[in-house]
Amino acid sequence: MGRTSQREITVVTPDARLSGEVWLPEGAPGIVLFAHGSGSSRFSRRNRYVAGELVKAGVGTLLFDLLTAAEERRGSIDASLRFDIGLLTRRLAGATRWLQGESWSKPLSIGYFGASTGAAAALAASTECEVDAIVSRGGRPDLAGPALPRVTAPTLLIVGSNDEVVIELNEQALARMTCEVQLEIVPGATHLFEEPGTLEQVAQLAARWFQRWL
């Protein structure tokens, strides 16, 4: 494996400046933007683990905060932004357009990795931007609502076998989607994939999906 470059960046969207970091292996075919769930950030331990495994697999990653510091504070007080899928979608779409405007990213295809409510934002934003692949971890794709039938990017939905309510919501979303879509159920895993070996399985599934489609 070649050299990997790492840098802190500021993602500029029409309504915010967001902190982030890029990891880009030499020769990477594409870069994956991580859309974290509500109440999380670019420092999410689970997302950082998956991102590290993607980099090892030769895929670039962009971890960034979907909310400003002020919005994070507000959200921690009253949870008002927890299910604001519209806001998360706008931020992710804005970050994607910012990335596409950067000279260093021109040759890279783009993927999304969404967790929890971030998965809904990833699906919805993909209908507004050019995106080549999506992976959802323990996601709520059902919250993407009317965007679901319009998604064209090949999508992998990953859910834990013990997360029964979310399995059902993912199955409902899958039934509304017309693109290449698969549902993978990780045995013995609950919603946060905290059980030994389960997050590793998520990372392996995601790496294979992005290697295939990016």
Domains of the chain plus CATH, in order, are: 4-213 (3.40.50.1820)
Per cent of the chain over pLDDT 90 is 85
Please report how many Cα atoms fall inside a 13 Å half-sphere around the Cα of residue 3, on the Cβ side.
Answer: 2
**Position 39 confidence tier, pLDDT thresholds 50, 70, 90:** low
The answer to whether 51 touches 57, Cβ cutoff 8 Å, is: no
Q: In degrees rounded to 5, what are phi and psi of residue 74?
A: -60, -45
Higher pLDDT, 44 or 60: 60
State residue 42's pLDDT score. 82
Q: Which pTM does this prediction carry?
A: 0.94
State residue 213's pLDDT score. 98
State residue 72's pLDDT score. 75
- Residue environment code for 85-120, b if the CB has 16+ CB neighbours within 10 A, otherwise e: bebbbbbbbbbbbbbeeeeebeebbbbbbbbbbbbb
Least confident range of 11-25, 27-41, 50-64, 76-90? 76-90
Q: In degrees rounded to 5, what are phi and psi of residue 38?
A: -60, 145
Higher pLDDT, 39 or 56: 56
User: How large is the average pLDDT for residues 40-52?
Assistant: 86
User: How large is the average pLDDT for residues 170-185?
Assistant: 98
User: How large is the average pLDDT for residues 113-136?
Assistant: 96
CA Rg, the chain, in Å?
16
Give tens-digit pLDDT for 87-115.
999 999 999 999 999 999 999 999 999 99
Give tens-digit pLDDT for 145-166.
999 999 999 999 999 999 999 9
